[in-house]
Amino acid sequence: MNKNSAQLVKEQQKYKILIRNLRKQQEEMNNGKTNVKQADSNQSK
Amino acid sequence: MERLTLSKLIVISQSESRSLEVPFGEGLNIILGGNKTGKSSIIKSIFTTLGCECKKVEADWKKIISAYMLFFKYGEKKFCIVRQGNKFQIFEYNGNAYFCLIETESFHEYSNCLMDVLKIKMPCISKDGKQFNVTPPLLFRFQYIDQDEGWTKIADSFSNVAYIKDWKPNTNKYVSGYLDDSYYELQAQKNEHIIERDDKRKELNYSQNFVSRITSTVSMMEKIECVEDVTKKLELLIAEAEKMRKIRFSINAEMTVLENDIYVNQQKLHIVSHNIKETQKDIEYAMMQNDELVCPICGTVYSNGLEEQLNITSDYEHGEKLMLELTNNIARANERMEGLKTEYNNITSDIQIVEESIQTSQELLVYSSFYKNKGQYEIYESCKKQLDVIQKEIDAHVFEISKIEERITEKKSSQRSKAIRQEIEKFCSTLADAINLPKTFIKLRDFVQIIDRTGSETPRLVYMYQSALYLYNLDRAYSPFNFYVIDTPNQQGQDVDNLQSVFKSLELLSSNEGQVIVGTERETGLESVASTVISLSEKRRCLNDADYKEHISLFESLQNEASQWVFDNHKMMKTNNRA
């Protein structure tokens, strides 16, 4: 494997990690919103 | 059996120092005496001495008589019975003196001894199940008509009979000769064969069990040429078992490794499966984002084009391939595992078979040394041969039993019973003629006359039957039934004509082949032909002191002989006990 291919694989890995992290982040945020909504709805009751 | 003839009766009163001797001859003997002269007491004393308890005995007589001595002949032999209270002694005359056969206070011991003397064997059972030989009151019950109830009931003068089971029918049949000694002899033989057959059956059963228990082992042993073969085989088997155990161990080891692989692959599969799901979500997320993505930490801008998204998708495809591969691996491992399990089970059961063979061979070696060295094999062989012998013996007993049963059935046949009944009826008929009784009154049940008449016909029926039975037995053979004692009834109010006809009929009974003793108040008219006539005149004074010294001396000499017998017998028993 030459240097460029290794670089390319590294880049791809980084991209995949970024996607995974961003997705997780969003899922956490979505979960947090859902929790807040649930808490609100509980209070209004 | 022999003829029984009474010779004399001696009664002794030691308290009054008086005694009486009454001699008896062949044929007719008459004891003549008025009321209360003691004739009935003398007659009852004959039976008392024999052990027959008469129902009514004068209390005075019972009180004063201390010893009864009855001398009698049985065939050519002479005997004497002495009775003092409950004590019985039997003596036999040997030509010079009397020697004691028994002294006992047990009635049945005495009775059994007397029956041995008379050679009579008729087994009886008491109502509480005890077994013994027939007793005198049963044997002699038809030979006495007592002055009280004797003229109203047949053969019912003695009180010590009721405790015996079926005493009436059994003695009726015995005395009439229907079920006689030969019948009881057959029964005894049958019982002996039954006992021996049962013993042999037990022996056969035991031997069969012994033989069958050992046959299987021995049949295997017979295949062995020598012990060394078994030993070599045993060594090979042990080696084979060891080899198989090693194989089983390696299978077990491979199974453990395989189990581990399966576990690891399943873990991998679980992880890959999880990753695939995550990657799937990543793809969906990436497809939803803009063409460029900025890292929130370092600010680097990444291209989010189709190429990049395809790159993630290829990860997904790789994951799926990996999953497939892992699943296949697990399946293959499971398949191999199943194979190994089968192999393991097969080899386990093979080991078990080899171990059983080892055990059998080891047992064979033990049995082999046991039977061949200790001679037990010979016992087994002889036992096997003995089975046939025992079976043949059993068959022989069964055959004998059936033969005896046939003879018993023949004896008990209705034809024979009818012939005997007709014979007794013939004698009844002769007597009925002599005492003016219609022959239609003759009705026998169990060979005994039925008393179904009243008035003066009852005593005549009793007399007719018992006299006819005496004549029948006299005609049949010599036997203990060849003496007959008639005590005429208390004669106040008796029909004189009837009494005269009874006296006249005594002529029929006066044969010297037998012996008849008649007690009477009035002369019978046969005194001139009677062999002895004893006249009693004094009331309550029939005992006298004329021969007392002689009688007491005879009595004492018998007592000395009895004491010596008791001493010798006691010594003998002691010696036997020690032995």
ipTM metric: 0.81
Residue A26, chain B, CB below 8 Å: the answer is: yes
B123: CB partners within 8 A, 6+ apart? B131, B132, B133, B134, B184, B187, B188
Cβ separation of B285 and A26 shorter than 8 Å? yes
Q: What residues of A are in contact with residue B302 (Cβ under 8 Å)?
A: 11, 14-15, 18
Find the residue in A nearest to B312 (Cα).
A16
Find the residue in B nearest to A15 (Cα).
B302
Cβ separation of B282 and A12 shorter than 8 Å? no
CA B376, CA B361: separation in Å to the nearest integer? 19
Task: Say if CB B9 and CB B49 are below 8 A apart.
Answer: yes
Closest by alpha carbon to B35, among B519, B530, B500?
Answer: B519
B414: CB partners within 8 A, 6+ apart? none
Residue B295, chain A, CB below 8 Å: the answer is: yes
CA B448, CA B424: separation in Å to the nearest integer? 9
Cβ separation of B311 and A26 shorter than 8 Å? no
How much is the pLDDT for B217? 67
Sign of torsion, CA A14 A16 A17 A19? positive
Cβ separation of B293 and A14 shorter than 8 Å? no
Transcribe B253-265 into DSSP letters.
HHHHHHHHHHHHH
Q: Name the 3-class secondary structure at B158.
A: strand
Q: What residues of B are in contact with residue A25 (Cβ under 8 Å)?
A: 296
The two three-digit tokens of residue B572, written as one number: 């003998």
Q: What residues of B are in contact with residue A14 (Cβ under 8 Å)?
A: 300, 302
Looking at the complex, report in whole angstroms how far the Cα of residue B313 sits from the nearest Cα belonging to chain A: 11
**β-bridge partners, B20:** B11
Give B102's DSSP letter. Answer: E
Cβ separation of A16 and B278 shorter than 8 Å? no
Q: What residues of A are in contact with residue B309 (Cβ under 8 Å)?
A: none
Looking at the complex, report in whole angstroms how far the Cα of residue A14 sits from the nearest Cα belonging to chain B: 9
Residue predicted with more confidence, A43 or B555? B555
How many CB atoms within 10 Å of residue B544? 13
Task: Say if CB B435 and CB B463 are below 8 A apart.
Answer: yes
Residue A33, chain B, CB below 8 Å: the answer is: no
B326 φ/ψ angles, rounded to the nearest 5 degrees: -65, -45
Please report, for chain A, how many H helices and E strands are present, in that order: 1, 0
Give B119's DSSP letter. Answer: T
How much is the pLDDT for B322? 94
Residue A31, chain B, CB below 8 Å: the answer is: no
Residue B278, chain A, CB below 8 Å: the answer is: yes
* pTM exceeding the 0.95 threshold for the entire prediction: no
Amino acid code (one letter) for B144: Y
How much is the pLDDT for B49? 97
Q: For the stretch B173-210, what's the b/e string if a residue is b when 16 or more beta carbons lie within 10 angstroms of its beta carbon?
A: bbbbbbbbeebbebbebbeebeebbeebeeebeebeeb
Residue A20, chain B, CB below 8 Å: the answer is: yes
pLDDT category at A35 given cuts 50, 70, 90 is: confident
Q: What residues of B are in contact with residue A22 (Cβ under 8 Å)?
A: 285, 289, 293, 296
The two three-digit tokens of residue B294, written as one number: 């900025």
Q: Name the 3-class secondary structure at B80.
A: strand
Q: Calculate the CA B8 to chain-centre distance.
A: 43
Give B544's DSSP letter. Answer: B
**β-bridge partners, B10:** B21, B69
CA B33, CA B281: separation in Å to the nearest integer? 149
Cβ separation of A16 and B295 shorter than 8 Å? no
Mean pLDDT in consecutive groups of 10 residues from the start of chain B, 579 residues: 94 94 95 89 96 91 94 96 96 94 95 95 89 94 90 91 90 92 92 95 89 72 68 90 95 95 95 93 91 85 88 91 94 95 96 92 73 65 87 95 95 93 95 92 93 85 94 92 87 67 88 92 88 86 90 96 92 78
Q: Find the DSSP H helices in B375-490.
A: 376-411, 414-434, 457-476
B467: CB partners within 8 A, 6+ apart? B427, B431, B484, B486, B505, B508, B509
Q: What residues of A are in contact with residue B303 (Cβ under 8 Å)?
A: 15
CA B564, CA B570: separation in Å to the nearest integer? 10
**β-bridge partners, B486:** B145, B518
How much is the pLDDT for A45? 47
B503: CB partners within 8 A, 6+ apart? B520, B522, B524, B525, B526
Sign of torsion, CA B287 B289 B291 B293? negative
Cβ separation of B278 and A18 shorter than 8 Å? no
Q: Find the DSSP H helices in B94-226.
A: 107-118, 136-139, 167-175, 181-223
CA B571, CA B383: separation in Å to the nearest integer? 44
Cβ separation of B293 and A19 shorter than 8 Å? yes
Q: What residues of A are in contact with residue B296 (Cβ under 8 Å)?
A: 22, 25
| Residue found under tokens 């209705």 | B414
CA B255, CA B341: separation in Å to the nearest integer? 8
Amino acid code (one letter) for B510: S
B312 closest CB neighbour out of A11, A19, A26: A19
The two three-digit tokens of residue B349, written as one number: 């059961």
pLDDT category at A2 given cuts 50, 70, 90 is: low
Task: Say if CB B533 and CB B527 are below 8 A apart.
Answer: yes
Looking at the complex, report in whole angstroms how far the Cα of residue B325 sits from the nearest Cα belonging to chain A: 24
The two three-digit tokens of residue B553, written as one number: 């001396």
How much is the pLDDT for B494? 60
Residue A22, chain B, CB below 8 Å: the answer is: yes
